[in-house]
Structures are given as C-alpha cells and as structure tokens.
Structure 1
C-alpha cells in the first residue's frame, strides 16, 4: 500500500500532466480570438480580482514568475487587450486593467469555457469534484508556505 507521501507525489505528477493538457486545451479554446492560454490566464486574474492589479499580483495568482507575466502583459498592452494605469500605492508598479476590447473577448471566452467545463464535468460526480478541489486547495496552501 502506498504511503501518503507516495500518493501525494502521484497527485503532483498527475497535476503536471493535467496542467500541460489544460494549456493545450486553453490554446485551442482561445485560438479563434488570437490568444493563448497564457493571455487568457492574465485576463482571468484581472477579472477575478474585480479591480486593476499589479503584474506581481497576477503572477502570484497564475503561479508564474513576475518576469514571465510582465512579458505577456506587455504584448497584451500592445494588442489593446489591457491597459497600464498609474498606481497610487507604487511609483513603478503599474496597475493592469482590461480594456473594453479585452473585456469583450474575455466575456466571449468565458461563455465558451462554461460549455467546455460542463462537458468535462459530465462523467465526474459532484462529490468527487468537491473532494478534488479541497485536496488541491490544501496542497496549494502547503506549497505557498514553502
């Protein structure tokens, strides 16, 4: 019988696999809008915050480096999907907000994603989904403390 640590490792490996598959799926979902899953994640972090956020805040939500997030934000700014605003709390760290065009694209993607998620959840009962979400939250909290 596997120890808890061995099962934890198996979950981590499965999460790596799922992460790669989700990036591929995300790229396919966003392709018609000329986006990538990385850009979609940035948009999602801004929308979920419900207010303009810094690149550092976006990178924490995405679990990526600030530098990688900054590169994506810079391209999105040039493409007119996000705008950089002065931050009253910091001279250098600009706030990032969706433009009107970015909000329109995100809304379309959100509707498309809802259908995709409903289809993906069809063969998983609610109890399993809730347990998986709970376990992943606990794993994330552990890793954030490191």
Structure 2
C-alpha cells in the first residue's frame, strides 16, 4: 500500500472509531445527566484547572466549542471559572464538587465497558492499540 492509501485507510478507521467512542461516551454519561462533550471537558480539568484554550488544544477541539460547553458546565454548577494568575482575561475552568461527583458516578459503567473491550481485544492488543494511537498523535503534532 502506498503512503497515500495508508493515510486514507487510517483516517477512515479513526473517523469510524471516533463515532463509536462518542456513541459509547454518550451512553455512559447520559445516566448521570452529562453529554460526552461535557464529560470530555470535565475530564480535561480533573487534574488541574485550565484555560479554555488549553482544554481545546489538549482535546483537539475548537476554542469556541469548548467555551460553549464550559459555560454550560458553569451554569449547571459542575464547573467554575477561577482567576488565572498567568493571564488576566483567560480565566481557568475548574471542576466543582458536583462535577467531580458526576464523573465518579460514570466510573463503574466506564470500568465495566473498558473490561469488556479489553476482553474482546485481549489486554496486550488493547495496549498496542493505545500506544499506536498515541504515536500517531505525536507524529501528526510534529508535522503540523
């Protein structure tokens, strides 16, 4: 296969996986009143508060899209804006106790689905898939 054919094959597979992961994420997050997008943004700020632009970069999303979701999370009381010592206008988004509780309520179903997927693929193959995708992300980052 040529590099162009491999890129097309990879892109089509990634598009399909993206759709499937979003569908699973919607199914996992819906029972706790979240959407996949809201769960994704909350997940980005679990380790530490981040500006909207930082979340967008980390997740490969648009800043405008993340801003819209962040505002909704704040309205719901699942996140809050905090002052950013590094930039006066770019506030930091932080998860609240309610947001953390919502994410924790997803975890049992997430673990169960992850185990089923691991059983389907095999633990070693699952690790290889994750490593290959991380390597692809890093290579694309270098080329952009």
Do they superpose with TM above 0.5? yes
Structure 1 stretches (4+) deviating beyond 4 angstroms?
Answer: none
TM-score, structure 1 as length reference: 0.91
Supply the RMSD in Å over aligned alpha carbons: 1.3
Structure 1 residue 15 displacement after superposition: 0.9
Q: Structure 1: where are the runs of 5+ without partners?
A: none
Whether 2:99 is the aligned partner of 1:102: answer yes
Q: Secondary structure at the match of 2:82?
A: strand
Q: Which whole-Å CA distance do the structure 2 matches of 1:140 and 1:97 have between them? A: 26
Partner of 2:61: 64
Q: 1:111 aligns with which of 104, 108, 111?
A: 108
Q: Structure 2: where are the runs of 5+ without partners?
A: none
TM-score, structure 2 as length reference: 0.92
Q: Which whole-Å CA distance do the structure 1 matches of 2:130 and 2:75 have between them? A: 36
Q: Secondary structure at the match of 1:64?
A: coil
Instruction: Give aligned pairs, total.
Output: 143
Instruction: Deviation per CA, 1:92-113: give whole Å up to 9, x if none.
Output: 1111111110010111112321
Greater strand share, structure number:
1
Query: Structure 1's 4 and 133: CA in aligned 2 closer, same or farther, altered over 3 A?
Result: farther
